[in-house]
């Protein structure tokens, strides 16, 4: 299993529009084979921060979904990104 997690930074005034534009991407990801979870969410304290959280069954399924990545408009809106890929060997109940 893979987890993609981290955050993006965008202009505070454009964050809500950015997230709204991501709705179709989120829906498409969740409908993709191998996607266990996919979420982009506004940070409640930092007006420029968007949390990224994804879980995938395999790297191949993630790559098939990802394709060329964000479109040009989304890419241009991202001021900074700190997103990492985590390879998970086992999963246990908390």
Closest CA to 4 of 38, 41, 33, 43: 38
| DSSP strands (E only) in 1-94 | 2-9, 35-42, 49-56, 80-87
Residue linked to tokens 């921060």: 49
- What's the pLDDT band for 8 if we cut at 50, 70, 90? very high
* pTM metric for this prediction: 0.90
**59 vs 71: CA distance, rounded Å:** 21
Convert the pLDDT of each residue in 27-72 to its tens digit.
999 999 999 999 999 999 999 999 999 999 999 999 989 875 667 7
The full set of domains in the chain, from first to last, is: 2-87 (3.30.70.100)
| CA 49 to centroid of chain Cα atoms | 12
Tokens 């409640």 label which residue?
44
Q: What distance in Å separates the CA atoms of residue 16 and residue 93, rounded to the nearest whole number?
A: 34
């Amino acid at each position: 299993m893979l987890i993609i997690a981290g955050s993006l930074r965008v202009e505070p005034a454009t964050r809500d529009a950015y997230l709204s534009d991501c709705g179709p991407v989120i829906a498409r990801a969740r409908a993709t084979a191998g996607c266990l979870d996919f979420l982009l969410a506004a940070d409640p304290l930092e007006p420029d921060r968007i949390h990224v959280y994804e879980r995938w069954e395999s790297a191949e399924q993630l790559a098939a979904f990802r394709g060329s990545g964000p479109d040009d408009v989304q890419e241009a809106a991202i001021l900074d990104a700190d997103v990492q890929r985590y390879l998970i060997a086992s999963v246990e109940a908390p």
